[in-house]
Structure 1
């Protein structure tokens, strides 16, 4: 500070300005300020911690690859070659591994999600369809519909350590809790209950002659298993404590598809493929309390984290029906691509991702406005999609949709839950479910299965039918590759004089 100003202050006995020394100069405080900044920088979270990229994985059935989508930019950042006919996708609980069920090469591809490379391929049984993973990620159970068994894979060694004969025909879809694996056996009309501690079948409750059990969902407390019977158009309710069928709920038609349980377990939502509707069942009385008209050919559905919205994919209409679960009414119908397959909610629930099989793309929907904000081109015949903490139409995927993962938390979507792993580029929760990732299976006694599906963690494949046998009301699959997609066994395929087993690939 200039000397003449200091002199004038002294001569007039004026007080020194605050924060100055006797010589009029301000004290040197920068070392202390710097120390404060250093401390704050040390305790503050990294700027990038909240910006970890989230990736969606899409199984391109006819391209024999997995497309990797950066959800921040809605662009494909990588494609990973896998086996033949990739279908169901299963994310590990920590998101570091993606297991791809290759239906036509009878094996499972293991992808390192940090490098987007296939690090192993594990041979399993004939025509594998769906899988379920334990909460700790140590075991992967793969259902082989063509050989009527389950392959148990040790994920550490990436080797099959057991092969379990289910004692039924055409095992299709799994549900997994802490001690038991439940497989629906479509053509023997029963469910196999496998003790996962001994890898043995301990019960095979019947769902009724000619029923055709396909999908299933565990109640939040794990005491009930709801099984959809595609041929008889009914729901079998199994008490998991006694492994017996305690109720059969008629839906009034055939085509019962993927069941979704509400977060509190009081409602069961079941798309009916042939009646173009969704049945709402009161799980206390086992009565259908509402039938909601939707689009043409509803199959898979995903439930929002707060349980207020149900998103239903209508295959033949090319739309997503948005249902208000408080009023059981459709509040929006969203046009998407050709033959929408499975819907999966993203980790924060603001985005819904839908694979469109015949237009070879993925629709991204803003769930706040119910509009499509992006359409992402992928490979041929995209089917399953998996996101960390995503809620798949399958409560079986890595949590609930996509899908089934044995995780004792509330799903993801598979949440509806979230488990962050800082060394990978994901945030995983224990869907939906299917984590994966299902939102429905949220208790210590049950596991979400979807991402899948949410979502997971996620999130379908198909069951032993050739593509040409798949019911199509108006559309046919693209030419150029035989059996471009595995069909789902549907009621229309049932032979007039009885049933025969599906043609194997």
Structure 2
């Protein structure tokens, strides 16, 4: 089997080897080139009853801007300058505000979607990544990876009203409970999830996701009783009872590096794309077992489920295509070629169009879901990446033992080691659970971090990557992205 390397890169600020256009590669676990596509329906139709256009907002990570697309003409109508390294977009429930998480400049841009202008820039913590917004749009919660806290923004005053410290390392992906009283934040480097009481803005529990795990993306069941957390390192999904805040199951998946979990509308099925083994696991949530595994393209990351739940669209980052899965038969019924490095797919309001950000070719593919064919390719800025959804659309979610993983030789092994270098003040930690080995370093002298991951399949190494980050007031540009393959945080 040939070696396949998806995340190996070096470079200066705006160069684009495998992952980024301008400067080292946009991190993928995290810190990121970001696209975020948000489809925005008009607030009110005109008196004539004519339908107003739907706009798509694309976060161009390496261009430090947001591209605005009129989806009726599939053309870019505006570009909005924002902060450094826009990595994620959050649309207000009313659709009048777009919040842009700028990972490099440590702030949030507030955009008035009626005028397509930035009206405020709110400072937050170090290396913000993802955010969550309340149902009434009054509060925005921003996870700050390097300052180990969550910023709470009052969206009316556009000011931070609280900073919630978490006990975990690298808070990553926040999710709000259905009633808004709890915020669940995955901690990528501490094997747990922080449970926050939003009434007091305090951490009240930290359920484990399993030893040596790297929890990242999560999904909440329709009734809010279960939180499903994908772990990119140990190849399992943790199931947390949100009533007791305890982990009740660790589900081994049938692939490597499970990435983004997607729940069916009724919550009976959980779909998980396995980035390093090129397949999708289907989990029965009643029994917490894998009931099917479908091969897809190379490097599947994010997926979008159709409104009626009959089709799952999986973006395959390394093979430049989208797999279409029939959820009734759990089979791939189509493979759609798109641009280079497809990232986060998102449906239009009526579900007839699917928009896919192509991070490496700097464009967006528009797919007709009736024919499963690309009908338009729209050029945008550098490194479009993440996709978010407004209310009323379908696609990405708005939303205790350690199972052994077979090694290349077929024997499950797990080991952990740690040592410190007193001369350079560098703390080294290595964890391995074949076929995955991770090495982390913390430099106490200059507050920097480094992390490297090797993934093996049989005796062949199929992936390798690392991320670095250094906090320095004069180092502007940040690359932040979190992914099982691609973990880089780099300030330059």
User: Of the candidates 358, 363, 374, which is equivalent to residue 361 of structure 1?
Assistant: 363
Structure with higher helix content: 1
Is 1:152 the equivalent of 2:146?
no
Q: Which aligned pairs between 1:109-120 and structure 2 lie closer than 5 A?
A: 109-120=109-120
CA shift, 1:306, in A, is 0.3
Which has the bigger relative contact order, CA under 8 A and spacing at least 6? 2
Aligned to 1:486: 480
Q: Determine if contact 1:342/1:393 at 8 Å carries over to the other structure.
A: no
Q: Determine if contact 2:260/2:272 at 8 Å carries over to the other structure.
A: yes
**Structure 1 residues 172-181 or 347-356, which shifts more?**
172-181
Distance 1:222 1:351 in 2: 29
Q: Which aligned pairs between 1:82-481 and structure 2 lie closer than 5 A?
A: 82-177=82-177, 178-389=180-391, 391=393, 394-395=396-397, 399-400=398-399
Aligned to 2:59: 59
Q: Determine if contact 1:69/1:75 at 8 Å carries over to the other structure.
A: yes
Q: Determine if contact 1:345/1:390 at 8 Å carries over to the other structure.
A: no
Count of residue correspondences = 383
* 1:247-304 alpha-carbon deviations (Å, 9 max, x no partner): 1100144311000000011000000001100000000000100001000000000000
Structure 2: segments with no counterpart, 5+ residues? 1-44, 400-447, 456-460, 466-475
Structure 1: segments with no counterpart, 5+ residues? 1-44, 401-463, 477-481, 494-500
Structure with higher strand content: 2
Distance 2:71 2:389 in 1: 10
Distance 2:372 2:123 in 1: 42
Provide the aligned C-alpha RMSD in A.
2.6
Distance 1:348 1:69 in 2: 17
CA shift, 1:473, in A, is 6.9
Distance 2:207 2:452 in 1: 32
CA shift, 1:468, in A, is 11
Distance 2:307 2:300 in 1: 21
Classify the secondary structure of the residue corresponding to 1:259.
strand
Q: Determine if contact 2:103/2:479 at 8 Å carries over to the other structure.
A: no
Distance 1:114 1:297 in 2: 37
Distance 2:342 2:479 in 1: 14
Distance 1:475 1:232 in 2: 16
Go from structure 1 to structure 2 and tell me whether the alpha carbon gap of 1:66 and 1:164 turns closer, same or farther (over 3 Å shift): same
Classify the secondary structure of the residue corresponding to 2:257.
coil
